[in-house]
Amino acid sequence: MLDNNEEDLERLAELCLSTAKQIKQHLASTGQPQMSFDQNGPPFFPHATSPLDIQLARLDLRAAAKRLYDLVSGPDEVVAYNTYNITHDLNAFHYVNHYSIASAVPLDSSISYSALATALSLDTKQLRQMLRQLIQIHVFHEPTPNEVAHTASSKLLITHSGVAAFNAYISRDVFPMAVKQVEALEHFGHGNQHPHEAGLNFACGTDLPMYAYYESPGQSGVRGRFSQLMTYVSSFPAMDKEHAAHGFAWDALPADSVVVDIAGNVGHCSIQIARTNPSVRIIVQDLPKIVARATDPATSVIPPELRDRFTFQEHDFYAPQPVKHAAVYFLRMIMHDYSDAYCLKILRRIVPSMAPSSRIVIMDQVSPPVGVVPSAIERMMRTQDLQMMLLTNARERDAAEWQELIAGVVVDDDGDGNESVDDQVLSTKTTRKLEIKNIVSPQGSTMSLIEVGFVDDVVPVANGVSDTSAE
């Protein structure tokens, strides 16, 4: 990995050259085409067929090239022209998406700006202004003056629904929200933890949390874009559902153990868990319409040979957990959608149902310290962190923040074996607390599996009231 403190121009250039040669030789030796901006070039870097050393070389090349570019640009351009350019890249992408321009540019040939503008009922000069902005980042190109054609990137806007949805969602939906982020903080208050008082809510004029808003009447466009981009993101190797099978000893669970996949959608991740242990039983919980889709033979994703081990159950994770004494309560990509106050509510509804040996396994991002992971990966993580803040007042957490969150889950026990999650914790009760037992990051995954169980000690409860900020 590139030294985080490396600033020597020659050494950075040498690293760019050596890693570029390594990647070029790998592609040539394996019979794969070289990366190109040409519209008929590879649409994606071949992650799946690239060995680890090539993937690491690619990360180093990206980091070194970006740092070299920033150094020779100078500090002023990084904070001035960089933001200027990015702003109008998004401006142009918004225009392109709104008027479906990519689909009007023919494949394998060019079209004049005037003909394209006429076909779309747009102004020729404005159209040319917008597309020439994107040409600077290799999205579209001018093979001859005043003629526009596709590049590999612009072609994806019409040939790959996931890439197109991602780009459209960011430029059409997220960009206008981000512009209102500071106003939202001023309006709703700094440190606000409610998911219905986030940047999205201020920008869109709604008091509904994100998911409810996207499901509301009139939001079919953004709902479709969001759904498609999530399908696309889930296809990334780093987000592969197979990672759910690693990082926790599923195969060591006793025979007939029950795993509860909370908000597990149609069970796609639980399939991987079920395959690690032939005797484990899976209960997938989600909202009624998702359960209906999961149990419909026409839309079920559970392989026939596993179906007798799967049960689907309607459940809202803010309600008390109905499955008692499961071996594992599994939450994948749930906690990063919510602030600490709401995560505490979710966890407190699980704890009373746990047996002493039960585990909560949280599969989510554990953010690294600055400069520890390759910069391309860290950049994505930091952007995702701000995205969660914008949409739901949530965030990605580092290890210390996960520890703090789990330590805040306090459940009282009145001594008769019946625990409760009442927010008012009485001084006559004792409490049971949770702790993180282990954190494992499967190789190639951007997420970790956080194993949570009871602290062995039972301690008296002091007078006071537990966190009720989410009530």
DSSP sequence for 44-79: S---TTS-HHHHHHHHHHHHHHHHHHHHHH-HHHHH
Residue 407 pLDDT grade (very low, low, confident, very high; cuts 50, 70, 90): very high
Sign, Cα dihedral of 421, 423, 424, 426 = positive
Contact indicator for 361, 453 with CB cutoff of 8 Å:
no
Task: Look at residue 1 in the predicted model and tell me its pLDDT.
Answer: 83
Q: Rounded to the nearest 10 degrees, how much is the dihedral formed by the CA atoms of 233, 234, 240, 245?
A: 140
Same fold, 78-159 and 237-368+392-460: no
Distance (Å, rounded) from C-alpha 176 to C-alpha 164?
A: 18
- Which residues contact residue 8 at a Cβ distance below 8 angstroms, ignoring those fewer than 6 apart? none
| pLDDT reported for residue 237 | 83
Question: Is-above-0.85 flag for pTM?
Answer: yes
Confidence of residue 429 (pLDDT cuts 50, 70, 90): low
Mean pLDDT of the 300-306 span: 95
Question: Domain segments of the chain: what residues?
Answer: 9-73, 78-159, 165-233, 237-368+392-460
pLDDT band at 436 (very low <50, low <70, confident <90, very high): very high
> Over the stretch 122-175, which tens digit does the pLDDT of each residue have?
999 999 999 999 999 999 999 999 999 999 999 999 999 999 999 999 999 999
- Tokens matching residue 122: 């747009």
pLDDT at 453 over 60: yes
Rounded to the nearest 5 degrees, what angle is found at the Cα of 295, between the Cα atoms of 289 and 300?
A: 105
In the CATH hierarchy, which fold is given to the domain comprising 78-159? Answer: Arc Repressor Mutant, subunit A (1.10.10)
Burial class (CB in 10 A: 0-12, 13-18, 19+), 364: buried
Q: Quick one: 237-368+392-460 is in which CATH superfamily?
A: Vaccinia Virus protein VP39 (3.40.50.150)
Task: Report the pLDDT averaged over residues 285-312.
Answer: 96
**Do residues 380 and 68 make contact, with C-beta atoms less than 8 angstroms apart?**
no
The pLDDT tens digits of the residues spanning 214-254 come to 999 999 999 999 999 999 998 888 888 889 998 899 999 99
Q: Of 94, 150, 243, 336, which residue is the catalytic one?
A: 336
d(CA 214, CA 231): 16
pLDDT at site 48: 72
Question: Active site includes 336?
Answer: yes
Distance CA 370, CA 347 (A): 29
pLDDT band (50, 70, 90) for residue 430: low
pLDDT score of 415 more than 60 = no
